[in-house]
């Protein structure tokens, strides 16, 4: 039977609770009851992402995520999609630098089906993994790269800027999508070895949130997951630590068919899970989080040198987080004009800090975003897994809002002064060449978007 049990109902959780359990094979289980609607969310995080990959095999974590939708021991081909959707549920999977996750939202009475499907994949995927499924999904992922990265304006910006911000050999130097050459080089045995290494009960966290009976849910988890053999042998991820400051501006100019000049920059910021990261998030929200932000007011409204100005935080636990600045120019304005204005605003903010009104607005904005996540069964299940995998404690998800509200204006000013400096950024400048118009352009790739199973409207593309 499951071992261990803790519950939380502490200040700052908004009445949300979670219980934790661990099976004998090492699988961690987190349950959170919510009887508001008759649905349940199942989320399974594996502690493996692109940071665990080795040179020459980039993109393997994301490729394997696709392979997980190609059938398992008792579910053939596209059966996972067909069974979940046929039961009125939804599903998908994503891959990031730091984890791979799989999730379903089901009517309550179909919860057992979702648990059985995830257990079948964890316990018997190798029985279905063959050359045909490998080639099928290799082609799907390569096509995803073309559609989302290589063949859209600014599509490779995040890849280029990440490579600048994290030096060669660093585990975060490459993005989860991987390179075409490495995708071509991946073999069936690579995929099988990847599964044996990382897809073990002790390397996963399962959360179930919603209209559930905890006792019955645990019984199902034990029944379907408890017999999966545990195994060790996972290598520790490579060290992702770096100095707090880059120490000099890194810069690359890209000449491509894009609709407008653009300035993108990545600032090295504190690791996720720290109070300093929350302070940095608030600083970036004041500076570039929406149309009331300082940079939007300066560049778009006042100077009219830009048509868009955004500044957001890419939170990372195993390496410094990135403050991602994205500015698209207006008309024929040159990037140096905009860059000067940005540096003036950042210097002023470092000197003065946020006003009381800006601080209140930024905290309210982040509070709303957090509550939006925790207010849905799927969002809460994902956050419980995130804090369990990355920080060892799922209960931290329930107090995240309170931690943001406790940050002081002085802390926000301090992190801005220490980190939002010209010598602590990697810069990407886009200069248009003939052939692209603004009307033809797709929106740029979101730097925080994760590699996902591209399913299309009928959620079958990943498992053709």
Marked catalytic residue, from 65, 118, 276, 358: 65
Instruction: Give the integer Cα–Cα distance in Å for 83 and 463.
Output: 13
* Residue 195 falls in which region: left (phi positive, over 0), alpha (psi -120 to 50) or beta: alpha
Instruction: Give the integer Cα–Cα distance in Å for 21 and 6.
Output: 7
Instruction: Give the integer Cα–Cα distance in Å for 282 and 266.
Output: 16
Neighbouring CB atoms inside 10 A of 244's CB total 13
Structure tokens at 453: 């199973």
Instruction: Give the integer Cα–Cα distance in Å for 300 and 232.
Output: 54
How far is CA 184 from each of CA 130, 137, 188, rounded to the nearest angstrom?
A: 16, 11, 11
Give the sign of the dihedral formed by CA 139, CA 455, CA 390, CA 234: negative
Structure tokens at 309: 């100005």
Please say if 411 is a catalytic residue: no
Closest by Cα among 289, 324, 326 to 307:
326
**Contact call for residues 397 and 219 (beta carbons, < 8 A):** no
Give the sign of the dihedral formed by CA 151, CA 152, CA 153, CA 155: negative
**Contact call for residues 282 and 418 (beta carbons, < 8 A):** no
Catalytic residues: 65
């Amino acid at each position: 039977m499951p071992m261990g049990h803790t519950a939380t109902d502490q200040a700052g959780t908004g009445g949300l609770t979670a219980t934790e359990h661990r099976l004998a094979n090492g699988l961690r289980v987190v349950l959170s009851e919510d009887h508001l609607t008759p649905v349940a969310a199942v989320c399974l995080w594996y502690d493996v992402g692109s940071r665990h990959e080795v040179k020459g095999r980039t993109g393997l974590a994301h490729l394997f995520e696709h392979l997980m939708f190609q059938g398992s021991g008792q579910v053939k081909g596209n059966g996972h999609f067909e069974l979940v959707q046929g039961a009125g549920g939804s599903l998908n999977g994503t891959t990031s630098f730091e984890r791979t996750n799989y999730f379903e939202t089901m009517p309550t009475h179909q919860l057992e089906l979702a648990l059985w499907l995830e257990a079948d994949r964890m316990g018997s995927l190798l029985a279905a993994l063959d050359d045909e499924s490998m080639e099928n999904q290799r082609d799907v992922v390569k096509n995803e790269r073309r559609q989302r990265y290589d063949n859209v304006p600014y599509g490779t910006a995040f890849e280029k800027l990440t490579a600048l911000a994290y030096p060669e050999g660093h585990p975060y130097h490459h993005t989860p999508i991987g390179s075409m050459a490495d995708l071509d080089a991946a073999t069936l045995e690579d995929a099988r070895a990847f599964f044996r290494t990382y897809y073990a009960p002790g390397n996963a966290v399962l959360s179930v949130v919603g209209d559930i009976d905890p006792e019955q849910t645990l019984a199902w988890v034990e029944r379907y997951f408890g017999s999966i053999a545990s195994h060790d042998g996972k290598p520790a991820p490579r060290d992702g630590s770096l100095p707090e400051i880059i120490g000099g501006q890194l810069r690359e100019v890209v000449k491509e068919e894009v609709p407008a000049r653009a300035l993108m920059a990545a600032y090295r910021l504190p690791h996720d899970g720290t109070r300093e990261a929350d302070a940095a998030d608030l600083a970036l929200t004041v500076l570039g989080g929406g149309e009331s932000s300082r940079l939007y007011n300066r560049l778009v409204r006042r100077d009219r040198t830009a048509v868009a100005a955004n500044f957001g935080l890419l939170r990372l636990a195993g390496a410094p987080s990135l403050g991602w600045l994205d500015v698209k120019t207006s008309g024929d304005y040159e990037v140096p004009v905009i860059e000067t204005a940005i540096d003036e605003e950042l210097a002023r903010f470092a000197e003065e800090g946020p006003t009381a009104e800006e601080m209140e607005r930024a905290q309210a904005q982040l509070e709303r975003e957090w509550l939006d996540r925790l207010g849905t069964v799927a969002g809460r299940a994902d956050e419980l897994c995130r804090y369990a995998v990355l920080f060892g404690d799922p209960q931290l998800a329930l107090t995240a809002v309170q931690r943001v509200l406790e940050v002081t204006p002085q802390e926000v000013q301090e992190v801005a002064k220490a980190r939002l400096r010209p010598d602590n950024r990697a810069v990407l400048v886009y200069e248009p060449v003939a052939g692209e118009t603004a009307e033809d352009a797709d929106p740029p790739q979101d730097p925080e978007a994760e590699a996902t199973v591209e399913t299309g409207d009928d959620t079958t593309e990943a498992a053709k």
